[in-house]
Amino acid sequence: MKDECGICGRVLRVAYMRQCQRCKKLFCRDCMVPDVATGDPNALLCLHCARRVVAPTSKGKYDGLERHLKFRAAFTSTVKLTFARIDGLNGSELPTSAFRDQTWWSNTSTNIHTKAWLNAGWEVQEANLKEGYVIFKKVRDIPFKKSPRRKLEINKPFTPVPVHRPRSKVPSKTKVSKLYARIKNMERNRALERRNIRGFKPGARQ
């Protein structure tokens, strides 16, 4: 048996999935972290629940779906999302009527959940309750606002770090003379060792 991860959207074996201790939903092991509140490595939380524990924010239930559609509007005009994927974007499960009632996916602006895709400039083109997916179609362009980045202000002129060239290490005359004398002594000692070998006479023919 296989199931779909609600965060990354991959379809994997059930043995590879893990249950979140908070939302009780199945996610892949790559989208799970140890409980950030207790630090228990055996209690796993999905990334959505862990984020809500670390940085709780007050937001709408379907804000995740709205942000995702605004982001996708920059490079596509049709988006197909499974119900599990929408649960992962919102961080909570869809109501039972979303799985049973076709009118729940209507483009009526009076519904709270409908405003999520209407405010993003999308409408529901097809909702397949049997297969568990919905197709959104872009009807108008809405600019996706990115979080402003803090500009780096430079008040002082840039001063490069002084670079010191390494000095060439030239041996002194004293070291050269000592090294030369040492080589000569080694050659003299080798010559003496040859003379002390028994039966060896320098210059004698064998």
**Contact status, residue 86 vs residue 99, Cβ threshold 8 Å:** no
Distance in angstroms (rounded) separating the CA atoms of residues 68 and 144: 10
Helix (H) or strand (E) holding 113: helix 112-119
Has this prediction a pTM greater than 0.75? no
Domain boundary assignment for the chain: 2-54, 63-138
Distance in angstroms (rounded) separating the CA atoms of residues 19 and 29: 9
Please tell me which residue, 3 or 159, carries the higher pLDDT value: 3
Distances in Å between the Cα of 16 and the Cα atoms of 70, 84, 165 are: 31, 17, 58
Distances in Å between the Cα of 179 and the Cα atoms of 169, 170, 183, 187 are: 16, 14, 6, 13
Q: Is the pLDDT of residue 206 over 50?
A: no
Average pLDDT over residues 12-32: 86
User: Taking Cα atoms as reference points, which of 50, 61, 53 lies closest to residue 27?
Assistant: 50
Helix (H) and strand (E) counts for the chain? 6, 9
Q: Is the pLDDT of residue 123 over 50?
A: yes
pLDDT in tens, 35-46: 877 777 888 888
Average pLDDT over residues 11-25: 86
User: Taking Cα atoms as reference points, which of 110, 126, 127, 107 lies closest to residue 118?
Assistant: 107
Q: Is the pLDDT of residue 59 over 90?
A: no
Q: Is the pLDDT of residue 168 over 90?
A: no
Domain 2-54 CATH class label:
alpha beta
